[in-house]
């Protein structure tokens, strides 16, 4: 399953309203949890803005360390953007320019298609429900 920024951030942040739902989803999933590299940057940004602002720099650092530990222990696998993903990312952004669909969401979709994984954990159902996959018709949103 591809993990988008919303559930990844909520999983790490006990104060997030979607924390319990994200923990249940991610911990009960029996397959591999893949975080595209651009999503990782977005999660870090959320931690360093939302968590730091709400509870301080120390808690933000602890959240980032928890994320790194989840990566190093294999809870999450970071998936780099491949050279072949960029044309698909550009195609998606161009086709859905009225959304607007950003690079991060488009990279999630491109990775899902390349890895033949229709399952996406996301809180951003507006974008992901609308976009058609060239491989699956529509993505399976969890």
The fraction of the chain above a pLDDT of 70, given in percent, is 97
3-class DSSP assignment, residue 73: coil
CA distance 6 to 55: 19
More confident: 138 or 32: 32
Q: What mean pLDDT, rounded, does the chain reach?
A: 90
pLDDT tens digits, residue range 52-99? 776 668 887 888 899 999 999 999 999 999 999 999 999 999 998 888
What is the pLDDT, as a whole number, of residue 71?
A: 96
pLDDT at 127 over 80: no
The per-residue DSSP string of 74-104 comes to TSSEEEPPPTTHHHHHHHHHHHTTTTTPPHH
43 close to 9: Cβ distance less than 8 angstroms? yes
Token pair listed for 107: 């990279």
What is the pLDDT, as a whole number, of residue 139?
A: 83
pLDDT tens digits, residue range 89-125? 999 999 988 887 889 999 999 999 999 999 999 998 7
| Sequence ranges of the domains in the chain | 2-79, 85-141
């Amino acid at each position: 399953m591809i993990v988008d920024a919303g559930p990844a951030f909520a999983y790490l942040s006990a104060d997030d309203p979607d924390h319990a739902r994200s923990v249940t989803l991610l911990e009960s999933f029996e397959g591999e949890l893949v975080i595209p590299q651009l999503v990782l940057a977005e999660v870090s940004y959320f931690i360093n803005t939302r968590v730091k602002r709400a509870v301080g720099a120390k808690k933000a650092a602890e959240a980032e360390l928890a994320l790194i530990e989840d990566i190093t222990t294999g809870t999450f696998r970071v998936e780099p953007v491949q050279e072949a993903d960029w044309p698909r990312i550009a195609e998606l952004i161009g086709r859905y320019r009225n959304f607007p669909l950003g690079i991060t969401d488009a990279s999630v979709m491109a990775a899902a298609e390349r890895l033949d994984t229709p399952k996406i954990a996301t809180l951003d159902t507006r974008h992901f429900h609308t976009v058609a996959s060239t491989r699956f018709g529509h993505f399976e949103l969890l």
